[in-house]
Every structure is written in C-alpha cells, then in structure tokens.
Amino acid sequence: MKALITGITGQDGAYLARFLLGKGYEVFGLYRRTSTPNFWRLLNLGIFDKIRLIPGDMTDIASLSNAVIECEPDEIYNLAAQSFVGTSFEEPLATAQVDGLGVASLLTSIKQINPRIRLYHASTSELYGISESKAKVLLNEQSSFWPASPYAAAKLYAFHQVRIYREAYGIFAVNGILFNHESPLRGLEFVTRKISNGVARIKVGLAETLELGNLDAERDWGYAPEYVEAMWLMLQQDKPDDFVIATGESHSVKEFVEQTCGHLGLDWQEVVVVRERFKRPLDVPCLRGDASRAGQKLGWSPKIHFRELAELMVEEDLKRWNSYLEGQLFPWDAINDQLLYQGHSALLQPPSE
C-alpha cells in the first residue's frame, strides 16, 4: 500500500508516517519549501530516511496533482493546514486558502487523476464553535456547527467539500472530527506544549514566569499517537463516513498548568501571569467530545487521559532542557544543522538514491 501524507512535517504527520511504516506502507510526504529545514519531528522519531518527500504546497494545485501522479497513492491523508487558531485571526485569507481552498484543490486532483484513491481529511472539533459548547454538552457527529474563528470557518468549508465529493462522485473521502490531541512533538505555540515547555524551563531556572491568556477555556485533550490510528481505521471501513475522535473529558487551561506544575513541585499561582495579548477576539469556551460511535464502528478508544498526558509532556520537556544545560544540543537541532550543510536539495532525494 502507498500513502501520501500532506503536512508530514507536523505533529500528526510525523506520528502517522511512523504508524503507516509500521503497517508496511510505502510513505510519501508532501513537503513545502521553508527557509530552514523543519524535519525535527521526523528525525526525532527516526523515520526521516524511510519516507519519500515530494515538494508541494496546498495553495498550488499543480504541485498537488504532480504529487498524486508521482506517488500513485492508495490513500491520501490531508493533514496540511495553517493549524493555529490564533494566527487565523491575523491571517484569515491565507488560512482560508490553505485550509479551505487547498482541500477543494486536492479533491479536484483526486477526481481527475484517480477517483479510487481514499482520502482522510483532518477536520476538527473547532467546527462546533460556541453555540453548543456554552452548555458543555458532549459533542458528537450529530451536533451542530457554529464556527468561532477564521480557521474553523475555513475548515467548515473543507468539511462540506469532502462530503460533497463523496456524495456527488462516490469518492471514498472522510472527515475525522478530531478533538485536541497533544504530545511532546506538539508545536510550541499550542497551549499544552507552551505550558509543559514553560514549566520545565522554570523548573531548571531558565525562566521565572509563564504568560498565558484565557485560563478558563476547557478542551478535550487526547494523546496524538493514538489519534493517528483512528485516521487509518476510518480509511479501512467498507463505507466512507465521518467520525468524532475524543476522550470524553474536558479540562481547563488552569488545570493543565496545575497538573504540570504540581508534577514538578511548583506552585502554579507563583509562576503564571495572565496577558491580554494571548487572549483571542473570540474563543470557544469548552469542547468535549463523544467518540462512542468510533468505539462501536472502528473499535477505537483513548488509552491516555489528561493527567498522564500532562505528566508525560512536562517530563519530556524537562529532559530536553536538562540535556541542553548539560551542554548537549537538542538532537533535532544537531541533525537539522547537518542537513543544512548538505544543502537543501539533498533533502529531496529519495532514500534509495
């Protein structure tokens, strides 16, 4: 089996690539040119030289079609996105192009090149937005959507494009409505990793405070490596369908700080400073998902829950900062440096060449 992953350099892309390699897949990744290589996650998981990178960008349909033709995939996992909700308020048009129109472009390429390709699309619990979440209800596949950010609006457009191509052209295209999922490979701007990294820095004496925004926001936080398995399971079904993937628990940002600080013996109230600039013009107060349908039909259920997740993240960041203080570069920094010296084009060579 051959799979093409867009967004392979991101958190989910890296874990999914590792998962699919473990299943015996040949894995291709759409890679966009950046001024500095961004392969630390793939290197960290030890899979960089096991995947084939194909240059491309979600805003360039010619490059998407080229990737589909070159890879001839059985399955495509569309994970590429401007995925940070906060940035979508500052860059709404770029977000719409990548997260909305980019998905329409990919569907068009699939329809034209090979409509038998199965497509997983990374949809999101952000679609639910504010209306239902005010009541702190458990959200499922039947709950209504009321997006509260340019990111969510773009993702809602993509959600419907996926459904429309499925219904109109019979393409096996599915939306995974995934609630927040985190890991030590999470980007530093997202709140869980910002906290685990910030708390670890305070613990080793590299910082004194941690600046955050809305401490009352509640999210349903799961563990990313478990969520990528659900993506794969959705493409192994007889019929295409959309599924919610979540833990069923919600916790506040404040609880996440309390848990990580408590684990390292710190008092969260002594280190956290609330800053207006980290608050959003509009914020979803609470998201909590009901994945019971995924449990019944896919046999998927979460294993790692809030407390274990917070602790494993802060422990990993503590380990990283301790090794930094012992004079070692982060392993991924060291390897990225080496790659830079080899020159950018070396990165694009398939492993066999």
Nearer to ligand G4F (CB atom), residue 17 or residue 224: 224
Alpha-helix runs per DSSP H in the chain? 11-22, 40-44, 61-71, 85-90, 92-95, 102-113, 150-169, 191-203, 224-235, 253-263, 268-271, 292-298, 306-325, 331-342
Residues with a catalytic annotation lie at 124, 126, 151
Binders of ligand NAP among 84-143, rule CB under 6 A? 98, 122, 124
Select the residue whose beta carbon is closest to ligand G4F and give its number. Answer: 217
Q: What three-state secondary structure class fits 326?
A: coil
Q: Which is nearer to ligand NAP, 187 or 331 (CB)?
A: 187
Nearest in space to 225 (alpha carbons), one of 288, 176, 183: 183
Q: Which is nearer to ligand NAP, 7 or 225 (CB)?
A: 7
Give the shortest CB-323-to-ligand NAP separation in angstroms.
Answer: 23
170: three-class secondary structure by DSSP = coil
Among 7, 86, 184, 248, binds ligand NAP (CB under 6 A): 7
CA dist 159 and 116 (Å) reads 19
- Pick between residue 210 and residue 231 the one whose CB is nearest to ligand NAP: 231
How far CA 84 is from CA of 33, 99, 349, in Å, comes to 19, 11, 30
Site size toward ligand NAP (CB under 6 A) is 27
Instruction: Compute the distance between CA of residue 134 and CA of residue 179 in angstroms, rounded to an integer.
Output: 16
- Choose the contact partner of 278 out of ligand NAP, ligand G4F, none; CB within 5 to 8 A by kind: ligand G4F
Q: Which does 309 bind (CB under 5 to 8 A by kind): ligand NAP, ligand G4F, none?
A: none
Cα distance between residue 244 and residue 236, in whole Å: 16
Q: Is the separation of the CB atoms in 28 and 62 below 8 Å? A: no
**Cα–Cα distance, 83 to 87 (Å, whole number):** 8
Residues 56 and 67 sit within 8 Å (Cβ to Cβ): yes
- 219 lines the binding site for ligand G4F (CB under 6 A): yes
Is-contact 100 81, C-beta < 8 A? no
Q: What does 191 interact with, of ligand G4F, ligand NAP, none (CB < 5 to 8 A by kind)?
A: ligand G4F
Q: How near is the Cβ of 57 to ligand NAP at its closest, in Å?
A: 4
Q: Please, what is the minimum distance in Å from the beta carbon of residue 238 to ligand NAP?
A: 25
Q: Which of 3, 4, 9, 53 binds ligand NAP (CB under 6 A)?
A: 9
In this chain, which of 57, 226, 242, 290 binds ligand NAP, going by CB under 6 A?
A: 57
With CA atoms as reference, report the closest residue to 176 among 217, 218, 129, 236: 236
Displacement of CA 74 from its chain's centroid (Å): 22
The option from ligand NAP, ligand G4F, none interacting with 4 (CB < 5 to 8 A, set by class) reads: none
Residue 251 parent element (H or E): strand 251-252
- 187 interacts with, out of ligand G4F, ligand NAP, none, CB within 5 to 8 A per kind: ligand NAP
One of 6, 78, 83, 143 touching ligand G4F (CB under 6 A): 83
Cα separation, 72 vs 325, in Å, equals: 46
Interface of this chain with ligand G4F, residues 116 to 155, rule: CB under 6 A: 124-126
Asked if residue 54 binds ligand NAP (CB under 6 A), the reply is: no
Residue 329 Cβ vs ligand G4F, minimum distance, rounded to whole Å: 26
Shortest reach from residue 54's CB to ligand G4F, in Å: 23
Binding site for ligand NAP (CB under 6 A): 6-13, 30, 32, 34, 38, 57-59, 79-83, 98, 122, 124, 178, 180-181, 187
